[in-house]
Amino acid sequence: MKRTTQRRVLCSAAAVALFSGAAAAQELSRVNKEIPDYSPVTNERLVAADPSDWLLPKGNYQGWMYSALNQVTTENVRELKPAWVYSTGLDGGHQAPAQVNDGVMFVSTPYNHVLALDAKTGELFWRYEHDNPPDLGVMHNTSRGVALWGDRVFAAGLDGTLNALDAKTGKRLCQAQIGDWEIGAYITSAPMPIEGKILVGPSGGEFGVRGFLEATNAENCEQAWRTYSVPGPGEPGHETWKPEGPRPDAWKYGGGSMWMPGNYDPEARKIYWGVGNGSPWLGDQRPGDNLYVASSISMDPETGKILGHMQYHWNDSWDWAAMNAPMLIDIENDGQTVPGLVSPQRNGYLYWLTRDDEGHIDYAEGKPYVYNNAFESLDEETGRPTYNKDHVPTTGNKVEYCPSLWGGKNYPYDAYNPETGMLYIPVNENVCNSWTGILDEDTDPASGQWWAGMDLAELQVYLRDPSKGVGQLQAWNVNTREVAWTHEFGKTMNWGSILTTAGGIVFNAGTNDRKLRAFDAKTGEVLWEFPLNSTAISPPVSYEVDGKQYIAVVAGYGVDAQWTNSVLAEADQSGEWKGDVPVGGAIWVFALPD
C-alpha cells in the first residue's frame, strides 16, 4: 500500500502556476457591483460576536464554533432547504469558512481568490484574484479564511504575502511580505484581526523553515512585530535545543510553523496560538525537548512576547503538530470554576488546561480520544508523556505508530456549546502509518525542498483493524471529562469542522459520502442530511439576514483529505470505502422555508 504525494504536490504546483499566469494578465479585482453601506468591523464588534454575523473564522475570539441563533431547532431542522448555491469555479481543497459581515459574505479559495457576495441572495459583488508568481509551487494549495477589520478584508497569499483589500470593491490597498515561498514559507492560514493588527504565520514545517507569527499594522501593512516559535540564543527555551547530534544548529531550521489562526482573551488581552511539528520530523536529529514545537503558547498582543506554554509532547518525532489553538472555556478544576483551555490534539489526547490573566498555562488533565501506541503515560502533574520507544521514529529505522501523522484529528475545528456543556470533536480513529527515518545530507534546509527526514514514497498508511471504520464525531462533557456520545461514519475519514448552535444542533460534513449532517447536540441522533456536490472540508457557519437564520458551508474536496481517502479506498477489501469523490468548489447556503 505504498503511495507517494510527491507527484500530487508537483501537479498542485503546476496548477497554481497556471492560474497565477491568468491573474497577472488581468485586473486583480473584478467588480460586478460595489458594496453599498459597508459596516466597518471594530474591536467592539469582534469581541461582542453578534450571532447575526460570522466575522471570525471560528465565530468568536474564544474559538467556539458556536452560533447563538436558535431559529433552526431540533424540531424543524428536517425542513432545511438550499437557499442558494454559488460555484467558485475552482478545483482544489476549499478549507475557508464563509465569513459574514452585516449581510455581506466573504469566501477565500484555492489559488487565492476572494469572493464577496450578498449573503441573502448569493449575488456576486466582486472577485479578487491574487497575482501569485507564475513559477509558484506550494505543497497545499488552499486558503483557510480572511480577516475583517475596519473597511478592509485581509487575505494571505500562497506567495507569503498579506493583502489589504477594499471591502467594497476588492481593490488591493497595500501589501506586506510575510513569508518567502521560495524557501517553503507559504501561507494558507486565515489572518487574525486583533486591536488594529493583523496576525498571521506561514507554513514550512516540512521544508526546514523556522516558524513564526507576525503582526502587521492594519492601516499601512507595516510590520508591528515578529516572534519566532523556536527561541534563539539568549531567549528562554533556547536551552531545549541541545547543540548535539548531526545537526547542532537545529534551532535555525527547527520547524514549529504557526499555520492556523489563534484565539484571543480580550479581557486579559492575551492571545493563544498553536505551534506545529518539528523539522525534520525525526527528534533524534535535534536532541532536547525543542520548545515551542508541538505546543500551545500565550502571547502579548502588543509585543508578541511569549508568556506561557504547554508542550503536549517533547521532541516531536511523529509530525503531530499542535497547530490548532485551544478553545477558551471556563472549566471545573479541583472543585472550582476557573478560566481554562481545552484542546483535542493531533497526538490523540484531549487536554484540559488552566490559564490566568498573566498568560500562564498549567496542565489539568489529559485523556486519549483515539488509540495511541507511542505514549505510555502522562505525568499527573505536568502532562509530560513517557514514550514507548518501539513507536518513536528514529533515523535509519522503519517505525510504525498510531494515530497516523494526520493525527486523531487534523486542522478541522472542534466546537463547544455552552448550552450543552459539550465539546464536539471531528475524529479519525483506527488509522496508523509507518515510514523509515533518513538523514538528508544532500538538501539544504529552508531551500524550498522537501526536508522532513523521510521519503514520502516509502510512507505506508493503513487501518489498524481493516474491519472497522475511521471517521467519528465525538461529544465530550467538558466538566465530567467523559464521552457523552459518539457517531461512527464507517469507512470514511472525517475531515469536517463542526458548528454547534443554540438550536441544539451540531453540523458536520467532511466525509466521503459528501453529506452535510445535522445531529441532536445532546444525543447524537442524526436529524437531517443533505448530499453536496463535493465533500465539504471547510467549517460550517451560521448567520442571520432580515431576521432569517442561514447555515452555510463551502464544499470542495482536495489536498490531504483527498489523498488519504484515495489511499485507504484503494486498500479497502470490503467495497464500502468510496474512493471516487467529486471535486469542485461551491458555496451552499440553507434556510427554513418562508
Active-site residues, by number, are: 319
Distance CA 413, CA 57 (A): 10
DSSP state of 78: G
Q: Kindly report the CA angle at 192 between 266 and 519, in degrees rounded to 5?
A: 85
Give residues with Cβ within 8 angstroms of 417, minimum separation 6: 64, 66, 424, 500, 501, 502, 506, 521
**b/e map 95-127, b = 16+ CB within 10 Å:** bbbbbbbbbbbbbbbbbbbbbbbbbbeeebbbb
All cell numbers assigned to 422: 459539550
Q: What are the φ/ψ torsions at residue 497 (nearest 5 degrees)?
A: -70, 165
- Which burial class, exposed, middle or buried, applies to 50 when counting CB atoms under 10 A from its CB (0-12, 13-18, 19+)? middle
* DSSP characters over 322-388: B-SPPEEEEEEETTEEEEEEEEE-TTSEEEEEEE-TT--EEEEEEEESS--SSEEEE-TTT-PEEE-
The verdict on whether omega for the bond into residue 292 sits within 30 degrees of 0, i.e. cis, is yes
Distance separating alpha carbons of residues 507 and 415, to the nearest angstrom: 10
Please tell me whether residue 120 adopts helix, strand or coil conformation: coil
**Whole-number CA gyration radius for the chain:** 22
In angstroms, rounded to a whole number, what is the distance separating the alpha carbons of residues 217 and 236? 27
β partners of residue 255: 278
Question: What is the β-pairing status of strands 197-200 and 212-217?
Answer: antiparallel
Contacts of 151 (CB under 8 A, 6+ apart): 38, 40, 166, 167, 168
Report which of 450, 454, 186, 456 is spatially closest to residue 317, judged by C-alpha positions. 454
Residue entry with cell 529505522:
397
SS3 284: helix
Q: How far apart are alpha carbons 251 and 231 in whole angstroms?
A: 8
